[in-house]
A and B are shown apart, each in its own frame.
Chain A
Amino acid sequence: MAHSLHLTVDGQEHKLAVDPRTTLLDALRDRLGVMSAKKGCDHGQCGACTVLVDGRRLNSCLALALTHDGSEVTTSDGLAPAGELSTLHRTFLAQDAFQCGYCTPGQVCSAAGMLQEAAEDAPSVVTEDLEGPIELSDAEIRERMSGNLCRCGAYVNIVAAVSQAAEESR
C-alpha cells in the first residue's frame, strides 16, 4: 500500500505517494528526478548516495524514504543554490579532486557534514585527545571521509580540497 511522503529537497517541497520499499535514494532519483545523489553500490559501502538530512550526512540508499517523512534533504546541487558554487565545490575544482565525477556529489555532501561535525568538536577514532578541540589534519580528513570511495583514486586531491575548504571556512 502506498504511503504519503512529504520531503523538502534542496529547498523545494514535494508531496508524493510511495511504496514502503522505496529508499530515500530511489525517491530522490526515480520519483523526484533529483539526480545529484548517485547510486553506487546501493549497500552503504561506497557513499556515492550521501546527502544531508536535516543537516546530517546519511547514506540515502540505506534509509527508507518513509522514515524521513517531513525531513529537509540537501544534495550537492542544493549546496549551490542559484548556481553559486559553495566553498567545497570551488575547492574540489581548484584541487582537481575528481576524474569521472560520479562519487563527487556524495563526497561533497559528506565533506559538508563532516566539517560541521568537526566544528562541533566531535572526535574521530584518530583524534588523540577525545576531549580536545579538533584540528583537521590530513589523517583526520582521511578517517572522517573513509565512508566515501573514489574508484578513480582521486583521494590525494580530495583530501587537499577538503583541507582547503576547512581552512577557508575557519
Chain B
Amino acid sequence: MRPFDYERATDTAGAVATLTERPDAVFLAGGTNLVDHLKLGVAEPRLVVDINRLDLTEIDELDDEGLRIGAMVRNSDAAADPRIRRRYPMLSRALLSGASGQLRNAATMGGNLLQRTRCVYFQDTSTPCNKREPDSGCSAIGGYTRYHAILGASPECVATHPSDMAVALAALDATVVVLGAAGERRIPVAELHRLPGDHPEQDTVLDHGDLITALELPPPRPGRSTYRKIRDRASYAFALVSVAATVDVDTSGPTPVIREAAIALGGIAHKPWRARAAEAVLRGAEPNEETFLAAADAELEAAEPLEGNRFKVPMTRGAIATVLSELTGTDEPETTTEDTHE
C-alpha cells in the first residue's frame, strides 16, 4: 500500500475545502470498498480524509412524509429503520440484499452510491482498464463478461455499477444532497451516475471535492413495490440482474389499468438503469403478462449483450415480467400486502 497522510474531518465544509485543495486526496467513509482498493493499488491517494465522525447520521422526517437520510447512516441502520421498512420496503429489501451483515454495518449510504465496479479487470492492476487508467484499453471486451453490461456500454468500458441500494433509490426518485466548493446542490439519484462513453474513469457527475451529505426520499408512491435480485449464490453475491419496481393499478373500472409504474434495473449497466421505455408501455395499459413482456422488450430493444452475458437479456425480461405479475396480483389470487417479497 502506498503511504498516505490521514486526517479526521470535523465539519463538512472543512472536509470539502481540504479535498478541493488536494487533487490527490479522497474521502473515507465505511471503507468497505476504498480500503480494499488501497490494498490492491486501485486507489493511491496521498491523503485520506476520514469522514466517519461527521454529524451526518440522522434520519429525519421531511414535511411531506418523505425522509432525509444522512450520508453516514450505515446501510444496516437504514434497512432496519421502522419508517423505511414501512414506507419504502423496496429500499429496505435492496439494502438487505447487498453484501453481508458485517459489511452493511460499516457501509454508508453515501459510500454505497460511490462504490466502484467489481469488474475483475478494474480490480487487477496487472491488466489494462480504461476506468482505472484512461486509454490503457478494456480487458473485459473479449474477456470474462458474466457480470458486465448489456445496456448503455461503450467500446471503452462494459462495467456495471454493483449497488443494490442505488437501484431502489433510482426507482424511488430519490435525490442526493451534495456539498461542493460552490455550495449545496441536489441531484436525482437516477442522474448521479454516468454512462461510460469516452470517459469511463468518471463514474458519476460529481466533481472532486464534492461530498454527499444526505439522500432525500420523496413521499412514498401509491401502489405496491419490491426489489428482486438474481445472483449466482443465495446470499452475499453481486446481482446478475435486479429489478426495483413500484406499480399502481386502478381497479375502479371494468378492467384494471396501470396508473403509474416506476422500474429500475441493476447489474446490467454502468449505472442504476431507470427503465423509462418499459414504464411508458405500462402506463395506461391493462396489467397482464402480454403487457409486462412488451414493456420488458421495449426496454431491452437496445440491449447489446457480450459473449459471456447473453443470458442476461432473457433473464432481465423474465425478471421484469415476474416482478410485475407479483406486484399486480396477476400471478395469483388477490394479495393484500404492500411488500411482495417471498
Q: Which residues of A contact B (CB under 8 A)?
A: 1, 3, 19-21, 23, 42-44, 47, 50, 56-59, 61-64, 66-67, 110, 113-114, 117, 120-125, 127-131, 142-148
Contact = CB atoms under 8 A, between A and B. Distances in A.
Q: What are the 4 closest A-B residue pairs judged by CB atoms, nearest first?
A: A147-B100, A20-B6, A146-B235, A125-B96
Interface string B91-108: 011001101111101100
B210 interface: no
Contacts of B80: 117, 120-123
B154 to A, nearest CB: 28
B64 interface: no
B106 A64 contact: no
Interface stretch (B32-40, B169-177, B317-325, B326-334): B32-40
22 contacts: A20-B4, A20-B5, A20-B6, A43-B36, A47-B100, A58-B102, A58-B106, A59-B32, A62-B32, A64-B50, A67-B52, A110-B101, A123-B80, A125-B93, A125-B97, A131-B82, A143-B235, A146-B101, A146-B235, A147-B101, A147-B102, A147-B103
Interface in B4-50: 4-6, 8, 28, 31-32, 35-36, 38-39, 48, 50
A47 B102 contact: yes
A114 B31 contact: no
Interface of B: 1, 3-6, 8, 28, 31-32, 35-36, 38-39, 48, 50, 52, 76, 79-80, 82, 85-86, 89, 92-93, 96-97, 99-103, 105-106, 234-236, 337, 339, 341-342
A146 B76 contact: no
Contacts of A123: 79-80, 85, 92, 96
A21 B85 contact: no
Contacts of B28: 64, 67
A62 B79 contact: no
A59 B102 contact: yes
B282 to A, nearest CB: 25
Contacts of A42: 39
B36 A44 contact: yes
B28 to A, nearest CB: 7
Nearest to B82: A131
A130 B31 contact: no
Given A64-B31, A144-B101, A147-B100, 4 more contacts: A64-B48, A66-B50, A122-B76, A128-B341
Contacts of A20: 3-6, 48
Contacts of A64: 6, 28, 31, 35, 48, 50
Contact of B31 (A62, A128, A131): A62
Contacts of A122: 76, 79-80
A89 B85 CA distance: 33
B35 A131 contact: no
Nearest to B3: A21
Given A64-B48, A67-B28, A113-B102, A23 B235 contact: no
B99 A147 contact: yes
Contacts of A143: 234-235
Which of A20, A57, A146 gathers the greatest number of chain B CB atoms within 10 Å?
A: A20
A142 B236 CA distance: 11
B35 A23 contact: yes
A163 B76 CA distance: 22
Contact of B6 (A62, A66, A121, A146): A66
A120 B85 CA distance: 14
Contact of B92 (A3, A62, A130, A145): A130
B85 A146 contact: no
Contacts of B1: 21
A107 B79 CA distance: 23
Nearest to A130: B85
Given A59-B32, A117-B101, A3 B6 contact: yes
B48 A117 contact: no
Nearest to B96: A125
A123 to B, nearest CB: 7
B32 A44 contact: yes
B72 to A, nearest CB: 12
B342 to A, nearest CB: 7
A41 to B, nearest CB: 10
A139 B337 CA distance: 22
